[in-house]
Structures are given as structure tokens and as C-alpha cells.
């Protein structure tokens, strides 16, 4: 997750507003290596939490582009402790490639005494053990545009040049009011802040529902970066944001258009096969003790609807454009049964 900050917007006695910290480590891994980090198969390790929507963007992009052989994957425990993301899911509670127990060790290797939060997604340089970047916004764009020499045959173009301006515009509204909007509502410290976030969230969702009523995907007729960014929030909506973050005007499953859209993506290879509902629910309900102090994880909602027919193919569209679907999930990367939709 991206570190969360609250900062005074007026005076200490007036309302506080939720703020999301900007990534501190924004180096880029590029084809020409201009930041000192050239694209190179096997050199880097992507560290994610399956609970985190920002990290899930990178998971989906990596799958769709077929970068699994070139960019290895580390999955953290969904429950953080005082040292943040930890590798307790691995034998010996240490990442088998990086040899560390906590992601903070890669941050410390890069910058001693770094005072900020430890966030995912993060890309770590395996030879040095140093963090390269935690820029969740840029990571997926670079996977799509800078890592092309390592893409699988048939990889889709997730950030087509002719649509980039529109993708950026749509994605900015999604980020402000939906991706970040659910957090602004959930972590609001005053009624005014919550009301504003809630209204903006549902106004944007209504706008997106109207947009998607006559088109299968957000921009053009193929899956793009914009769809990935919206999916990672929508897939968590009924499970955590509706109740836990009080985003409760309606459930996503009560909006026929958005429910069909997100099920269409969920059933597309590369999307639903990266989603772990067990990690998602345990993280939100057990880590956010200021919201849920008793740390009780709800048993619902019923997940069986995710696999029901969506009929979105009737709108046309070509999910992968001129490309093809990704292959099976690599060995060792499948979501455990407890987190999958039955």
C-alpha cells in the first residue's frame, strides 16, 4: 500500500483532510537505463501485496504482458507489523531471492535512515538488494512501454500511443475520485471530509457507468491501463470499501453496468487470477484498527457471482487487440484456494 498521511488544511482546530504521500523513490527502469537502471531480464524483483490495489495494478500488467520470466515476484503477508511488509509467507520468513525478512531492509539498503513509509508495489535490484522504485503510478506505464523487448509474443498494447491523452485523462479522474476517493471516505476524520469524498466517488462511478453502458472498455476497443486502474478498486468494492470504508450508497453488484464490466475483466485471464479475496479482507479489516478495532473479518459477501455470465461481449471490443490472452499462471504464483472464487 502507499503510505497514508493526514495534514492540516486549515488550522489545527478545523478539519483535517486525507492525503496520500507521493512516492519517494521515483527512479525509472528504462530501455536506455538513463536513471542507472536498465531493463534486464532477471535483474529485478517485483514486491507486492495481493491485498493492495496499487500493487495489484503491477500484478495484472505483469501477467498480461507475459513478464513473469523476466521480472520475478515476491508476495508479502497481508498483515503488516511495526516494520511494515514482511515475508512470513515464505519458508524461514525470508524472501528466497532477496534474503530479507522485511521490505524495509531494501529501503534501508537504498537510503539509510529513510523516514517515510514502506509501500508496495516496490521494485528491488536483486544484485544490490536496493529498492529501485516505489512509484506505483509509473511502474505499470514503464512495464508497458519500456519493457517491450521482454514482452511475451502476443502481448497487448496497454498504453497505445494514439490513445494516451485520453487514457491519462480518464485515469486521472478515476485516481482522484475512485482509487483514492474510497480512502478519503474511509479515513475521513470529520463529517465534511467524508461527505465530500462520498459524493465525488459516486458521482464518478455514475459517470463511468454511463460511459461503459455502450462500450466494453474505457478507452478504445481494447483493454488499456485505464481499465487496470479502475478494476483494482472495483474488485475490492463490495468486499471492503462498501462496509469498511462506508462507501455504501449501493454495492457494486447493484449497478448492472459496472458489475458486468468488472466481472468481464475478472473473467479475463490476467485479472481475476491475480485476486486474493482472503488477503484483501484480512488486510483491510485487521490492519486498519482505527476503523475496526476488534479486527473482526466479515464472512461475506458471497463471491460466487464473480463467475456468472456478464454478456459484455455483445458490446464488441477485442480484449487483447491484435494480441492474445496470457498463458497459465506460472508455477508457484497461483492464488491459494482460500482466496479464490469457488
Question: Which is nearest to 197 in space by CA: 181, 175, 186, 176?
Answer: 181
Find the length of the chain.
342
Give me the pLDDT at residue 77, please: 98
The residues annotated as belonging to the active site are 52, 183
Rounded to an integer, what distance in angstroms lies between the CA atom of residue 160 and that of residue 167? Answer: 9
Rounded to an integer, what distance in angstroms lies between the CA atom of residue 22 and that of residue 340? Answer: 32
| Cell reading at 112 | 539509510
Give me the pLDDT at residue 137, please: 95
Contacts of 115 (CB under 8 A, 6+ apart): none
- Euclidean distance between the first and final Cα of the chain, in Å? 27
Rounded to an integer, what distance in angstroms lies between the CA atom of residue 106 and that of residue 161? Answer: 34
Give me the pLDDT at residue 130, please: 98
Give me the pLDDT at residue 81, please: 87
**Diameter of the chain by CA atoms?**
58
Rounded to an integer, what distance in angstroms lies between the CA atom of residue 59 and that of residue 52? Answer: 10
Q: Which residue pairs, CB below 8 angstroms and at least 24 apart, start in 8-15?
A: 15/189, 15/190, 15/192, 15/193
Contacts of 325 (CB under 8 A, 6+ apart): 268, 269, 270, 319
For CA atoms 81, 83, 85, 86, give the dihedral sign: negative
Separation in Å, CA 84 to CA 77, 78, 265: 10, 10, 31
Give me the pLDDT at residue 186, please: 98
* Per-residue pLDDT tens listing for the chain (342 residues): 655 443 333 333 334 566 666 678 999 999 999 999 999 999 999 999 999 999 999 999 999 999 999 999 999 999 998 888 999 999 999 999 999 999 999 999 999 988 888 999 999 999 999 999 999 999 999 999 999 999 999 999 999 999 999 999 999 999 999 999 999 999 999 999 999 999 999 999 999 999 999 999 999 999 999 999 999 999 999 999 999 999 999 999 999 999 999 999 999 999 999 999 999 999 999 999 999 999 999 999 999 999 999 999 999 999 999 999 999 999 999 999 999 997
Would you say 232 and 53 are in contact if contact means Cβ atoms under 8 Å apart? yes
| Cell reading at 320 | 487483447
Give me the pLDDT at residue 23, please: 74
Half-sphere exposure at residue 101, Cβ-oriented, CA atoms within 13 angstroms: 5
Give me the pLDDT at residue 17, please: 61
Q: Cα 312–313–316 angle (5° rounding)?
A: 115
Strand 72-75, strand 44-48: pairing: parallel
Give me the pLDDT at residue 22, please: 67
What percent helix, strand, coil does the chain show, rounded to 5? Answer: 40, 10, 50
Rounded to an integer, what distance in angstroms lies between the CA atom of residue 102 and that of residue 277? Answer: 23
Give buried/exposed letters for 118-128 (b at 16+ CB in 10 A, else e). Answer: bbbbbbbbeee
**The whole model's pTM is what?**
0.94
What radius of gyration, in Å, describes the C-alpha atoms of the chain? 19
| Cell reading at 63 | 501477467
Give me the pLDDT at residue 155, please: 98
SS3 60: helix
121 prior amide bond cis, ω within 30: yes
Amino acid at each position: 500500500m502507499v503510505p497514508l498521511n493526514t495534514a492540516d488544511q486549515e488550522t489545527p482546530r478545523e478539519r483535517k483532510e486525507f492525503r496520500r504521500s507521493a512516492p519517494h523513490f521515483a527512479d525509472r527502469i528504462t530501455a536506455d537505463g538513463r536513471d542507472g537502471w536498465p531493463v534486464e531480464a532477471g535483474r529485478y524483483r517485483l514486491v507486492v501485496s495481493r491485498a493492495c490495489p496499487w500493487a495489484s495494478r503491477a500484478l495484472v500488467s505483469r501477467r498480461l504482458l507475459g513478464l513473469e520470466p523476466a521480472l520475478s515476484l515476491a508476495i508479502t503477508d497481508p498483515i503488516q507489523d511495526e516494520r511494515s511488509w514482511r515475508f512470513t509467507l515464505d519458508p524461514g520468513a525470508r524472501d528466497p531471492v532477496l534474503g530479507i525478512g522485511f521490505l524495509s531492509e531494501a529501503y534501508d539498503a537504498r537510503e539509510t535512515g529513510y523516514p517515510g513509509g514502506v509501500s508496495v508495489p516496490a521494485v528491488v535490484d536483486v544484485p544490490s538488494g536496493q529498492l529501485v522504485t516505489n512509484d506505483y503510478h509509473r511502474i505499470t506505464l514503464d512495464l508497458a512501454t519500456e519493457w517491450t523487448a521482454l514482452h511475451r509474443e502476443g502481448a497487448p498494447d496497454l498504453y497505445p500511443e494514439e490513445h494516451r491523452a485520453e487514457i491519462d485523462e480518464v485515469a486521472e479522474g478515476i485516481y482522484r475520485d475512485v482509487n483514492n476517493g474510497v480512502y478519503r471516505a474511509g479515513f475521513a476524520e470529520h463529517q465534511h471530509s467524508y461527505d465530500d469524498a462520498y459524493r465525488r466517488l459516486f458521482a464518478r462511478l455514475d459517470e463511468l457507468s454511463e460511459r461503459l453502458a455502450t462500450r466494453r472498455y474505457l478507452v478504445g476497443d481494447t483493454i488499456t491501463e485505464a481499465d487496470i486502474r479502475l478494476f483494482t478498486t472495483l474488485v475490492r468494492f463490495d468486499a471492503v470499501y462498501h462496509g469498511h470504508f462506508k462507501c455504501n450508497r449501493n454495492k457494486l453488484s447493484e449497478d448492472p453496468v459496472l458489475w458486468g464490466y468488472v466481472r468481464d475483466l475478472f473473467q479475463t485471464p490476467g485479472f481475476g487470477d491475480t485476486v486474493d479475496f482472503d488477503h484483501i479482507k484480512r488486510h483491510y479489516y485487521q490492519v486498519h484498527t482505527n476503523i475496526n478495532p476488534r479486527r473482526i473479518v466479515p464472512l461475506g459477501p458471497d463471491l460466487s457471482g464473480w463467475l456468472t455470465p456478464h454478456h459484455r461481449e455483445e458490446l464488441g471490443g477485442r480484449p487483447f487487440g491484435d494480441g492474445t490472452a496470457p498463458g497459465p499462471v506460472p508455477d508457484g504464483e497461483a492464488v491459494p484456494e482460500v482466496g479464490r472464487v469457488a
